[in-house]
Amino acid sequence: MTVGSISTSNVNAIKGTNLEGMSIQMMAAMVMLEVGATKKKEAELKIADMKAQNDKAKALNAFLDKLNSKLGAFTKDEDTDKIGRGKVLNELADEAKSFGLDTTGWKAKWVQHEIRIITKVIKLPGHYNYKATTGDQARAIASQIQHMAENCNSDNQTQMVKLQDFMGQYNSFISGASDQIKTANQILQGLTKN
């Protein structure tokens, strides 16, 4: 964030303070303290974003562990294992969707069979039609979830660089304000000695 020229009215708006009779150094110190406080708030927001990303990565990894644990029971690509994987995906579809995963095709469809005998309709017991899922499809889904978790961690590394920048700017403005206050005090001390 860059700070352009600052008028007395802008500084008054910052703190609602009357600046008449205040030295330029003290005005500059006030502005630097206010900009420093803004940088500190930006850093706090960045920290909250990073925590949310970290929490999402942990939740994705926990979900992946659960998915892999349930899919581990189905090691072959026979029809029963494919249907078993489909049942697991059906069971976990809503949770996966909460992470933003595309769960198209994960949910089973209810199939109702009917028989018509002249004018009467007899409904037979229905069943869920689970999507058969191959081992390769299951591994692709697990890989997608792992990739999402890694992206959260990668994004956090990027955010850490930005956080360090905000903290560096904060420290710079606070140090500058301190220097301005020292200069103002030295000027006042010089005036009192004369």
Burial call 155-176: b when 16+ CB within 10 Å, e when fewer: bbeebeeebeebbebbeebbeb
Q: Which of residues 18 and 2 earns the better pLDDT score?
A: 18
Question: Would 109 be classed as within a structural domain?
Answer: yes
Question: Would 194 be classed as within a structural domain?
Answer: no
User: Is this model's pTM higher than 0.75 or not?
Assistant: no
Three-state secondary-structure class, residue 121: strand
Question: Would 2 be classed as within a structural domain?
Answer: no
Which of these, 115, 69, 75, lies nearest to 88 by C-alpha position?
A: 69
Percent of the chain's residues with pLDDT above 90: 16
Q: Which of residues 134 and 21 earns the better pLDDT score?
A: 134
pLDDT of residue 113: 65
- Per-residue pLDDT at 23 exceeds 90: no
Question: Would 96 be classed as within a structural domain?
Answer: yes
pLDDT of residue 194: 65
The two three-digit tokens of residue 84, written as one number: 């078993």
Question: Would 20 be classed as within a structural domain?
Answer: no
**Residues near 28 by beta carbon (within 8 Å), at least 6 away in sequence:** 176, 177, 180
Which residue stretches of the chain are H helix?
8-15, 24-71, 79-98, 135-193
- Residue 62 — very low, low, confident or very high, per pLDDT cuts 50/70/90? very high
Q: Which residue has the tokens 């956080």?
A: 163
Give me the domain span that covers residue 169. 8-13+26-53+62-189
How many domains are contained in the chain?
1
